[in-house]
Amino acid sequence: MKTLEELRAIREKMQGQISIRREDVDRAYDSASESAAVAEDAPKYRSHVLVCGGTGCTSSGSVQIMKVLQEEIDKNGLRDEVCVVQTGCHGLCALGPIMIVYPDATFYSMVKEEDIPEIVSEHLKDGRPVTRLLYSETVTDDGIKSLSDTNFYKHQHRIALRNCGVINPENIEEYIGTGGYQALGKVLTEMTPDDVIQTMLDSGLRGRGGAGFPTGLKWKFAKANDADQKYVCCNADEGDPGAFMDRSVLEGDPHVVLEAMAIAGYAIGATQGYIYVRAEYPIAVSRLIIAIEQAKEYGMLGEDIFGTGFNFNIGLRLGAGAFVCGEETALMTSIEGKRGEPRPRPPFPALKGLFQKPTILNNVETLANVPQIIVNGPEWFASMGTEKSKGTKVFALGGKIKNTGLVEVPMGTTLRQVIEDIGGGIPNGKKFKAAQTGGPSGGCIPAEHFDIPIDYDNLISIGSMMGSGGLIVMDEDNCMVDIAKFFLEFTVDESCGKCTPCRVGTKRLYEILDKITKGQGTLEDLDKREELCYYIKENSLCGLGQTAPNPVLSTLRYFKDEYIAHVVDKKCPAGVCKALLSYVIDADKCKGCTLCARTCPNGAIEGKVKETHVIRQDKCIKCGACMEKCRFGAISKK
Amino acid sequence: MASNKIPFAGSKEQEAALMQIISEHKDDPGCLMPILQKAQDIYGYLPIEVQTMIADELHIPLEKVYGVVTFYAQFSLYPKGRYKVSVCLGTACYVKGSGDIFNKLQELLGIGSGECTPDGKFSLEACRCIGACGLAPVLTVNDEVYGRLTVDDVEGILQKYA
């Protein structure tokens, strides 16, 4: 077990190295040399090469890149000068695998195995960056820009993600080197539980899982209830398709979550915590297991932490693919080893939660803010953001956007800034249609609200919600009726079946949407559907059902003309809904080559050699194979 | 729906491994889920025979075990293929055309979602977001991830496992 003094010694030992990777390079260098003087056993590499080991970059082959990199470094005799560090997600997943060379923060993107020898001999050995392989935006006439000066990074403000992509998540000493576990030390030795709760209340931190409940208030309620056992749970069951911020925090900085849970435990009087994490995140799970082991070994978890008599342990529970388990009561039921069905509230978890004991449940990103609030003070945190939404928010940019990845911006940043300045806009010259936030519980935001500052309350006022932070961009090729149907199909599938409004209501709603996309809808269906939406919202037991109609309501609000087109004109303007499309051959362009007729799997195309061909609409199954194959561009869909 | 015509063929070693897992976790509160997850690792799926063993050892009714197994999407009552092909139909992948990729796979493999080819080689399923949205659309074959896909890539990927 480590004491506070030992913690400081580790921090000083590591600081010099960690500061090489912090963005303010010059200052970091000064402090590096100072710390190096303090701690003689500190490692002294002149350069660090960071390779992203998040899910995105691992999927693009970063593990192999790292292996080859280390081999080349050894071959060039640089083993004692250059170290390779596997980090968590850097955020710019679209450009993976990502490799960053410090101290200059030179940014290599889409690195290939065969490029490594050149990068090592030219850049790492001889100090000449291989410009051809750098992220193109960083190569300018005035020299090479560092990572933090790129459009993607310079508008960001990283608190929850501050260590992601900076430290090795599998090494607790790197986390300590960034100031890790300092907040826990401060809380246990200098603050009472009430001080901690007051700090959280003053900071204005609200739950990042979606609903935005004030975190301090949740802790206060749980503290007020006496019990022989209380629990701190972490919701890492990030079920929103398209959201991966929690995964990135767990993969890139798992200790911040452990530290925050211990702080929460001290505040409410709990000695046991559980992290409920999706089984679909194998890298996050394995890093959490390592982090918990290391934290125990260093005495940051376990008995008598820092010699203060405070005990806190954390258990890991894996989900098994049920979206509803992201709902707080369902999550607790699942940890209890039962079917993950929600239960009615009240009683709220602060009174009767896990195993019927007072429990708090915080989302990963919420927890990732906690240690920084303790160290820097609540005023610092409250100085960022809007009046009612403080701090920053992490968004996962996905869909039709150039820079897909993870960004963290102050609350109140506009959608335009996020999508255009940071996200780089829509690719292929297409037109923006909508941004979807809040996953299956949220809504679609049209272009007319592009300049609205993003915070909890504004998003609700325009019919969407913050959700966990998935932000999926759609362009003119996406059909909004089809998107609404897509989300309903999701909720029908994930509805646990306990309450009728959700189980039956979402199914009926799906059927109406399905009818519309097949061109069989009527105007009456549109009205019926709206009524059904409100019925489901008002009568469902848990958040899943209460928010399930949101994608339908918001698309109806902003894209009613598309629904009308489907129902009245029997057309899908975006060309997505198959039943409403017809493939036709342009007689002027058709050369009569017969390729389409031979390609058609259903024999729907007729015509003789060197004569114009015709598609028989009654036989066409709308697979589009003919259009793909035609060499003269003679087939189009309408 | 998927169907199961393959008789249960658990070995003594598998049973011993399962008993070991059960005795390790038995006294933890809420131990059923972790035990089922590890049992599925051992057997590849959770047939009624395995569920019965777990129910007997934990002294809980079989229907309780069955209730939990059928609630969660990741527990399977049927054996999967040697190569588990799984297409992400999360939002980010969906808007980038993963639905077409899924259809192409159904066509090429001749099986539907949740089914296994008769030779036991491939099984196909749709999954929710795996968090690799930056590479959308993606599919996985066992633990291998393939990203930035087009419909034309699908055939080549399957051939790798042929």
Partner A contacted by B68 (CB < 8 A):
yes
Q: Judge whether B108 is closer than 8 Å to chain A, CB to CB.
A: no
Distance from CA of A336 to the nearest CA of B (A): 4
| A339/B67 touch (CB, cutoff 8 Å), yes or no | yes
Nearest to B74 among A55, A240, A279 (CB): A279
Using the Cβ of A430 and the Cβ atoms of chain B, whether some distance falls under 8 Å is answered with no
Coil, strand, or helix at residue A269? coil
Confidence of residue B5 (pLDDT cuts 50, 70, 90): low
Q: Which residues of chain A have pLDDT under 70?
A: 23-43
Residues B105-130: tens digit of each pLDDT? 999 999 998 888 988 899 999 988 88
Could you tell me if A633 lies within 8 Å of chain B, comparing CB atoms?
no
Instruction: Closest CB to A244: pick one of B36, B131, B147.
Output: B131
The yes-or-no verdict on residue B2 having pLDDT over 80 is no
- Taking the C-alpha atoms of residue A396 and residue A242, their distance in angstroms, rounded to an integer, is 7
- Are the Cβ atoms of B74 and A334 closer than 8 angstroms? no
- Chain A contact set for B131 (CB, 8 A): 55-56, 238, 244, 247, 280-281
Q: What is the pLDDT of residue A458?
A: 94
Chain A hits for B93, Cβ within 8 Å: 241
CATH topology of domain A45-148: Glutaredoxin (3.40.30)
- CATH topology of A392-475 equal to that of A480-569? no
State which residue of chain B sits closest to A479, comparing Cα positions: B95
Give the rounded distance of the alpha carbon of A417 from its chain centre.
Answer: 18
Interface touch B127/A400, C-beta < 8 Å: no
User: Cβ A398–B94 below 8 Å, yes or no?
Assistant: no
* 3-state percent breakdown (helix, strand, coil) of chain A, nearest 5: 45, 15, 40
Cα separation, B69 vs B47, whole angstroms: 10
Query: CATH classification of B83-160 is 3.40.30.10, yes or no?
Result: yes
Q: Which residues of chain B does A96 touch, with a Cβ-Cβ cutoff of 8 Å?
A: 134-135
Residue B71 at interface with chain A, using a CB cutoff of 8 Å: yes
For residue B34, give how far its alpha carbon lies from the nearest alpha carbon of chain A (Å): 7
Do B94 and A486 count as a contact with CB atoms less than 8 A apart?
Answer: yes
> Cα–Cα–Cα angle for A202, A208, A214, nearest 5°?
35
Please tell me which of the candidates B33, B73, B130 has its beta carbon nearest to residue A317: B33
Residue B131 sits at the chain A interface (C-beta within 8 Å): yes
Confidence bin at B8 (pLDDT 50/70/90): confident
Euclidean distance between CA atoms B156 and A114, whole angstroms: 22
B65 interfaces chain A, CB cutoff of 8 Å: no
- pLDDT number for residue B3: 53
Q: Does B77 touch chain A (CB under 8 A)?
A: no
Q: What is the DSSP annotation of chain B? A: -----SPP---HHHHHHHHHHHHHHTTSTT-HHHHHHHHHHHHSS--HHHHHHHHHHHT--HHHHHHHHHHSTT--SSPPPSEEEEEE-SHHHHHTTHHHHHHHHHHHHT--TT-B-TTSSEEEEEE---S-GGG-S-EEETTEEE-S--TTHHHHHHHHT-
pLDDT at A42: 61
- Give the closest-approach CA distance of B157 to chain A in angstroms: 15
Q: What is the dihedral of CA B97, B102, B105, B110, to 10 degrees?
A: -140
Domain ranges of chain A: 45-148, 172-382, 392-475, 480-569, 582-637
Rounded Cα distance between A108 and A124, Å, is 13
Q: What is the pLDDT of residues A121-154, one digit of tens each?
A: 999 999 999 999 999 999 998 889 888 889 999 9
| pLDDT for A29 | 35
**Residue ranges per domain, chain B?**
12-71, 83-160
Flag whether pLDDT at B150 surpasses 50. yes
B-contacting residues in A 200-219 (Cβ below 8 Å):
none
CATH topology of domain A480-569: de novo design (two linked rop proteins) (1.20.1440)
Predicted local confidence at residue A26, as pLDDT: 35
ipTM of this model?
Answer: 0.89
Between residues 452 and 471 of chain A, which touch chain B (CB distance below 8 Å)? 470
- CATH architecture of the domain A582-637 equals 2-Layer Sandwich (3.30)
Q: Residue with structure tokens 């949205």?
A: B133
Whether A281 and B96 lie within 8 Å, measured CB to CB: no
Stretch 150-189 of chain A: residues touching chain B, C-beta under 8 Å: none
Most B CBs within 10 Å, among A109, A244, A491, to test the B interface: A244
Q: Does B126 touch chain A (CB under 8 A)?
A: no
Helix (H, G, I), strand (E, B) or coil at A270: coil
* Residue showing tokens 């609205």: A452
- Name chain A contacts of B94, Cβ cutoff 8 Å: 241, 486
Of B72, B91, B135, the CB nearest to A59: B135
Name which of B67, B74, B94 is nearest A320 (Cβ-Cβ).
B74
Q: Which A residues, 536 through 595, put their C-beta within 8 Å of a C-beta on chain B?
A: none
Annotation: CATH topology of A392-475: Ubiquitin-like (UB roll) (3.10.20)
Task: Report the chain B residue with the minimal C-alpha distance to residue A61.
Answer: B145
CATH of domain A172-382: 3.40.50.11540
> Are A322 and B72 an interchain contact pair (Cβ–Cβ within 8 Å)?
yes
Q: Cβ contacts (< 8 Å) between A340 and chain B: which residues? A: 71-72
CA–CA distance, B19 with B17 (Å, rounded to integer)? 6
Least Cα separation, residue B56 to chain A (angstroms): 16
* pTM score, whole prediction: 0.92
Angstrom distances, CA of residue A307 to CA of A191, A300, A635, B65: 15, 10, 76, 43
Nearest to A93 among B31, B36, B135 (CB): B135
Polymer length in residues for chain B: 162
